[in-house]
Structure 1
Amino acid sequence: MTQLGLPEEIVACLFDLDGVVTRTAVVHAAAWKETFDAFLREREGDRFRPFEQADYDEYVDGLPRADGVRSFLASRGVELPEGDPGDPPDAPTVNGLGNRKNDLVLAKIRAGGVEAYDGTLRYIEAVREQGLRTAIVSSSANCRDVLRAIGAEDLFDVRIDGVVAAERHLPGKPHPDTFLAAAQDLGTDAAHSAVFEDALAGMDAGRAGRFGYVVGVDRVGQAEALSAHGADRVVKDLADLGGRA
């Protein structure tokens, strides 16, 4: 499978959604910034320090929504009650902040649509033509809607997203459990599966799960960090790997 840029033993490809298949990572980052900046400005007043891209990359990107809230707030020395999953978006709880972010990201997606990375879609088509199995692995609860919006739902044999993870009680990235579940659902194991991720937490998950190959997709200039967190290869776009791109 040198034409795909993968080792011969790989039989399954596990793709992250945001930042790998779709350009929604920037939409998520903007929604997180709006959410956290409003919260911090009200809480800190004159001491307000905004949420930055570096905060998104280190504390939020790739994590399940509530984990992202906890992770970033802990970095600022803030602890909130958990609340309940149904908390309103103005509730001062972990779930409330997470729901506020989700409302914002859905509004941004509806306003601007969802754009796919064409190089990724062509690569996935080439992978499937070679007989490899494919899965989408995302912490997003909106994964299916996003795939439908770009007409890509049929490109994946298995979907492990925020909804499925909650149903199966699977911990999110940087734990490898969602990727391992995808491999198992595809009828294989980690050693024969490749992970495609743009988030550092996704790299950590790939390394922790001992997957056969881990590809880091560098959309924001963090190639060195992706390698340090476990990428076997880093590319700017999956078109760089080969296939029909």
Structure 2
Amino acid sequence: MTTTDNAWEIPQSDHRRYGAALFDLDGVLTPTAEVHMKAWHRMFTDYFAAHGITPAYTDDDYFAYVDGKARYDGVRACLASRGVVLPEGDLTDPAGTETVCGIGNTKNDAFAAILRDEGVDPYTGSVRLIDHLESLDVPMAVVSSSRNAPEVLKAAGLADRFEVVVDGSVVATEGIRGKPAPDMFELAAQLLGVESDDAVVIEDALSGVAAGAAGDFGLVVGVDRGAGAAALLAGGADVVVTDLEELIAP
């Protein structure tokens, strides 16, 4: 364990002090998990119906196969649950192409349309925690499987609050593994200049808390936005909260 001058005390961790915060984005800082859910539902519902694939897609599929994963990993996993295997294709495949990448790009188009039409506001409690950590000069990073993270941060007015963003595009360019492997969080800590065991992982997805548990991080915080506290704890979270404001010491 390392120590830092700029330390964050978390009530739920027996008042140990930490030197960095690594935030997932969708469902942790912004309610864009709902936008992703809508986009996945729209895409898979149409695709399953057009190809006679059963059973029909439900939100349970989102949590089981998609939530927290890189886009194409989610496509592959959900199709495999129905016994469907498609060629991988290429990242440049147009939406609608009968490949994993083409279907993933269809989902991305749906997400962009919903984000454009409905916008997104950050969670109030999450902004309060960001403000608190800034006041302590605690470094922060966003670690998101989504390639849309920069657009979401900009839409939510948070783009200038984070010095490091490790997203799906970074996974591709750096050749590292996505969640549930710990690589993305480890890279974020490295870029912030802190040891992994001095950083806190904050996640709402089962694959995300699993990624935190797989690494040597100081604390893994699960944020219950629907996955369930019991599932988050079983998946690797050390503590679970329902709002990030709970992580501010009184």
SS in 2 for 1:49: coil
Partner of 2:69: 63
Q: 2:239 aligns with which of 206, 210, 233?
A: 233
TM-score where L is the length of structure 2: 0.92
Partner of 1:15: 23
Q: 2:50 aligns with which of 14, 26, 42?
A: 42
User: 1:34: Cα distance to partner?
Assistant: 1.1
1:26 aligns with 2:28: no
Alignment of 1:101-112 (within 5 A): 101-112=107-118
Alignment of 1:60-209 (within 5 A): 60-209=66-215
SS in 2 for 1:20: coil
Deviations 1:126-180 (A, max 9, x none): 0121221100000111111111112212221211011222111121100111000
Is the 1:22–1:116 Cα contact (8 Å) retained in structure 2?
Answer: yes
- Which letter maps to 1:42? A
In 2, the alpha carbon distance for the partners of 1:184 and 1:53 equals 35
SS in 1 for 2:98: coil
TM-score where L is the length of structure 1: 0.94
User: 1:8: Cα distance to partner?
Assistant: 2.9
Deviations 1:33-54 (A, max 9, x none): 111111111222xx63221111
SS in 2 for 1:14: strand
Is the 1:127–1:243 Cα contact (8 Å) retained in structure 2?
Answer: no
- Which letter maps to 1:102? N
User: 1:2: Cα distance to partner?
Assistant: 3.6
Higher mean C-alpha deviation, range 59-68 or range 122-131: 122-131
In 2, the alpha carbon distance for the partners of 1:166 and 1:142 equals 13
In 2, the alpha carbon distance for the partners of 1:190 and 1:61 equals 24
In 2, the alpha carbon distance for the partners of 1:4 and 1:137 equals 23
Q: Which runs of 5+ in 2 are unaligned?
A: 1-7
In 1, the alpha carbon distance for the partners of 2:26 and 2:46 equals 24
In 2, the alpha carbon distance for the partners of 1:202 and 1:82 equals 24
% identity of equivalent residues: 47
- Which letter maps to 2:65? Y
